[in-house]
Amino acid sequence: MNHNDNFSNCQEGCISVFKQKNVPVFQNKVYPTEGEARSAEVAAVELVQSLRSGFVFNKAFNPDRMNYDIHYQNEQSNSEFFQAHLVSVLTLLKSLGIENKKVLEIGCGKGVFFEIMLKNGIDCVGFDPTYEGNNPKIVKEYFTEAYSGLNAEVIIMRHTLEHIPNPFSFIHTIAKANGYKGHLFVEVPTFDWIIEKKAFWDIFYEHCNYFTQKSLGAMFEEAILGDFFGGQYIYLWADLSKLRPEIPQIEILSAEQLNFDTQIEAYRKLLQEKEPIAIWGAGAKGSTFLNLMDPERKRIQYVIDINPLKQNKFIARTAHPIYSPEILKTNPVENIIIMNENYWEEIKTLAGGVNLYKL
C-alpha cells in the first residue's frame, strides 16, 4: 500500500504551540554526580500543529541525538498503582482477543510488560535496543522491515510511538513488514490531558509526537479508542488492513487551548509561597518541571522517588538530588508537590503529615 505522509510536516503551514530552550534531551536520565548532571545534553522544544493534518509534534526534534545508555531509567513498576495499570492493560488486551495469538511487542523497554505477557501464556517476541535482560525472546535492536517474516497476529507498541519521527510512516513500515495483516495495539500519552490540565511539565524533548484520540484514530479507517491511567494515556486497537493511505483533516486547536502561561505563573507563585519545598517524582514530569521552574536550584530542596535506581543521583541540568522517602526523617520539608496525581494515595501514606500539592 502506497501512502502519503501528510501527518507530521509543515508543507502546508504550521502554527506554534509551545517553545522552550535548553531542556534536557533525556528527561529520564539521572546522573551519579552533580557535575555530570549539569553537563547533560540540552535541546529546544518547538511544538507546532500542522494546518494540514492538525497533528502536534516537535519540529525541533533530531532523532540522531537519542542515545539511550545506562543512565536512562524510565521504569515505573516500583509503584503498586502502575503495576495495577499494567494488569489493566493485559486485561484489556485479553478482552480484545490477544490470547492464543502470535504477539510482537515493539519497544518493550526493560521487558516488564513483556514478562507479564509470558507469565500469562502469551506467545510473544520483543524488540528494544535498551533491553538489559537476557530473555532470548527479546531482540536488542530496533524493529525494521528486515524482520518481515515474523507474521504477527497482534503487534503491541506501548509508549513507543511518541518517540518516533513520522509515526504514520512508521506504522506503514510495520504494516508492510506484516503484510498489512493482524491487529495493532498502541498506548501513548495524550495531548488531550495536557491541554485540559495545561500540563507544561508533560512536554518533553524525547516525545516528538503529541497524540489526541482524534489524531491517533485518524490513521485508520476504523479503530477502537479509549483512555486509562487517570486519563493520561490513550490506546488504539485497529486492523492493519484498515490503515489509511493518508490522514484526513483533524480539528485545529485554538490559541486558548494551547496557552500554558497562566499555569506556569501559578506554580512560580506556589514555589515562592511554600518554601521549604520538595517534589515527589524523578521521572520525566519532575525533570521537566524542575528545569522550567527552578533551573538554578534555588527554591526546591530535593526530589523524592521510590525507584532505588534513581536514588542518590541527580536530575539532568538542575542537579537536584534524588532521595528515597527516608529523607523526610533526616531532612524534613513542610511541603511537597506531587508530579503525578495518580500516585496521590500511595504518596500520602509514605509522606506522613507533610503538606501535599497536586500538579
Domains of the chain: 80-242 (3.40.50.150), 261-358 (3.40.50.720)
Number of neighbouring beta carbons within 10 Å of residue 313: 23
**Residue 317: left (phi > 0), alpha (psi -120 to 50), or beta?**
left
Please write the tens of the pLDDT for every residue from 235-270: 999 999 999 998 888 878 777 777 888 889 999 999
State pTM to two decimals: 0.89
How far is it, in rounded angstroms, from Cα 236 to Cα 129?
24
**Distance in angstroms (rounded) separating the CA atoms of residues 273 and 37:** 27
State the residue for C-alpha cell 490503515.
243
pLDDT value, residue 77 = 59
What rounded mean pLDDT belongs to the chain? 91
pLDDT at residue 1 greater than cutoff 80: no
What integer pLDDT is reported at residue 76 of this predicted model? Answer: 62
pLDDT tens digits for 200-236?
Answer: 999 999 999 999 999 999 999 999 999 999 999 999 9
Which residue has cell 503495576? 83
Average pLDDT on 167-188 reads 95
Q: For position 280, what pLDDT does the model report?
A: 97
Q: Three-state secondary structure along the chain?
A: CCCCCCCCCCCCCEEEEEEEEEEECCCCEEECCHHHHHCCCEEEEEEEEECCCCCEEECCCCHHHCCCCCCECCCCCCCHHHHHHHHHHHHHHHHHCCCCCEEEEECCCCCHHHHHHHHCCCEEEEECCCCCCCCCCEECCCCCHHHCCCCCCEEEEECCHHHCCCHHHHHHHHHHHCCCCCEEEEEEEEHHHHHHHCCHHHCCCCCCEEECHHHHHCCECCCEEEEECCCCEEEEEEEHHHECCCCCCCCCCCCCCCCCHHHHHHHHHHHHHCCCEEEECCCHHHHHHHHHHCCCCCCEEEEECCCCCCCCCEECCCCCEEECCCHHHHCCCCEEEECCHHHHHHHHHHHCCCEEEEC
Q: Which of 136, 137, 131 is nearest to 104 (CA)?
A: 137
Q: What is the pLDDT of residues 262-320, one digit of tens each?
A: 889 999 999 989 888 999 999 999 999 999 999 999 999 999 999 999 999 999 999 99
How confident is the model at residue 163, as a pLDDT? 92
